Amino acid sequence: MKVICRVKVTPSTDAIIPPFSSKVGKTLLGGTKLNVSISPLWDGKKYLFKAGDVPLPMTVYAGDDYWFRIGGDEKDVARAITSLRETKVFNTWWHVRDVEVNQVENVPSDAKKMVVETMTPAILPDPFNPKKRKRFSNEFVTVFAVNFMDELKFTREDVKEKLATIEEVVTEEPSWMRWETVNYAGKRVVGVTGKFTYSSERLGEIMPVLENAIAKGIGSSRRNGFGIVKITLESKNVKVTFY
């Protein structure tokens, strides 16, 4: 079962934080190496990161509420939460105010249309060759390759062998995307942001893969906060959004 845990935290003083803020949540979780995604901070409107080649810092404010989310298998998220501690990070103490866990459930298996909107830049590895540079594409197999490998234990060879079957499942519809550069841990990282639309009569066949993406995001470096997505599924003129 996939779950999403949202942790509400408050800094005790104003503080300067890095341009990609997932380091806060990762530190409060003790630097966990579990197979979960950990998002940047959320201020109620957006995830906190600054795009650009220059590592411009951001400010958080004393007493304001921020959230970060942990997504993954229920047992992994539960283990991660056991390491949650109030900690001094970036010269301020972070107080834990609330922890909320929700199951990823009621995903409509009869959906015929899906919209995937990136909330943080996604790093999309080549699904066939790990040595190649990252991909910039809305191709379904590229966007969800990591989810197939994670959830169904596919190897890259499996992806190659099953490519025709996977491509039969969905059709890429008009979408938009762009490159976005951020600075993470002192390194320049280029990711994809956008809104990707897909249609299919067979989305129900890959529900576990979609639930993996809802909980953990897409692409690589999900534990560092990349690839968090909002997924909207449309069935019989009813739209349901998960994020």
At 155-193, the pLDDT tens digits run 989 988 888 788 888 999 999 999 999 999 888 999 999
pLDDT, residue 236, reads: 83
**Is residue 135 domain-shared with residue 219, that is, in the same domain?**
yes
At 33-44, the pLDDT tens digits run 999 999 999 999
Residue 39 domain-assigned (yes or no): yes
**DSSP letters spanning 154-194:** --HHHHHHTHHHHHHH-EEEEEEEEEEEEEETTEEEEEEEE
Residue 108 domain-assigned (yes or no): no
Mean pLDDT over 68-76 rounds to 98
Q: What SS3 class is residue 224?
A: helix
- Residue found by looking up tokens 């990070």 in the block: 89
CATH number of residue 22's parent domain: 3.30.70.1890
Whether 81 shows a pLDDT value over 90: the answer reads: yes
At 110-137, the pLDDT tens digits run 999 999 999 999 999 998 887 777 889 9
Residue 24 domain-assigned (yes or no): yes
Domain with 220 in it: 113-242
